[in-house]
Amino acid sequence: MTKAELINNLTDTLKHRDLTKTVINEVCDVLFDTLAKGIKKDKRFTYPGFGTWTVKKRAARTGRNPQTGDTIKIKASKTVGFKPAPKFKNAI
């Protein structure tokens, strides 16, 4: 699902509340910005019944350049992992 599809779906679902696509777009932007800030600050964000996002660390490692086959050093980095809640996982 794309952002546009999400906004269209929410607009259709909340049609009776007279919310425009512009307002729903702004709400979605604020929601995901807040989610990102929460994950950055607390290293995790949990939404009951949906799942938990956590910051994960990747260790430095060696890899290969697929075009040349040369070995390269890949720096340590951070990423975000997601673990679905059992309720969500069973619904899929």
What distances in angstroms separate CA 43 from CA 13, 29, 78, 87, one per listed residue? 32, 20, 11, 23
Q: What is the pLDDT of residue 82?
A: 96
Position 29 pLDDT exceeds 90: yes
**Banded model confidence at residue 17, pLDDT cuts 50, 70, 90:** confident
The pLDDT of 11-30, averaged and rounded, is 90
**Banded model confidence at residue 45, pLDDT cuts 50, 70, 90:** very high
